[in-house]
Amino acid sequence: MTSPDLARAPAADLESDLARTRRARRIDRALAVRYPDAHCELDFRSPFELLVATVLSAQTTDVRVNLTTPELFARYPDARALAAANPEEVEEILRPTGFFRAKTKSVMGLSAALVERFGGEVPPRLKDLVTLPGVGRKTANVVLGNAFGIPGITTDTHVMRLSQRLGYTTSDDPVVVERELNRLLPRADWTMASHRLIFHGRRTCFARRPACGACPIASLCPSSGIGELDPVKAAAMLKG
């Protein structure tokens, strides 16, 4: 069921599939101009570090994760080390990220699974990644796109919110939204398009009150006008 405040504007419902595809690609090009440095904001040096960091990012910020992972990876640099760790020691390191007991169980469980089934290495296939504890399609696509260069749509909260506001979908199901965006955007652009939507959601198109008056895609957005329209006030709201 779609939240009323995120529902697609009526005008977008009359849009043909071809028109929606063209609009989505124009939006992505405009966001590429607005955010030329869009990238994964989790710090990592290997597929394993990115996998663990992405799992830890649930219900907290990338900034908080980036402050926590240096100590974690200094003590447990790979899957074998983390799988063999003392859970209480891992919990203490992860405490600042919230839900630290569940996250400890997930990252130690996925590490053990990597050792037992994949020789301690992160597999570069979605069907294998989603079998790991705490890893769903969103996390798998983050790892594939940013650690292996395999395109994928990341359906995090920002991508979900913006996909509805932009009239790309009316679904709240991440799998459906991923499929909708896959159809609208060229495969080669999936990873970067995700980053640009996430950047836009964090910096301009906020959940409670978007800065519509300072938005580079306002003329292409069926939800334009739900936020601050005054250009000066909207510009003052921008982050980053």
d(CA 240, CA 229): 20
The answer for 167, left when phi > 0, alpha when psi is -120 to 50, beta otherwise, is left
Nearest Cα neighbor of 200 from 223, 170, 173 is 223
Q: Which two tokens stand for residue 174?
A: 């991440």
Indicate which residues carry an active-site annotation: 138, 156
The answer for 196, left when phi > 0, alpha when psi is -120 to 50, beta otherwise, is alpha
Q: Which two tokens stand for residue 110?
A: 């996925």
Spell out the residues 6+ positions from residue 1 whose beta carbon is closer than 8 angstroms to its own. 172
The b-or-e profile of 123-161 (16+ CB within 10 A means b, else e) is beeeebbeebebbebbbbbbbbbbbeebbbbbbbebbbb
Q: What amino acid occupies position 106?
A: S
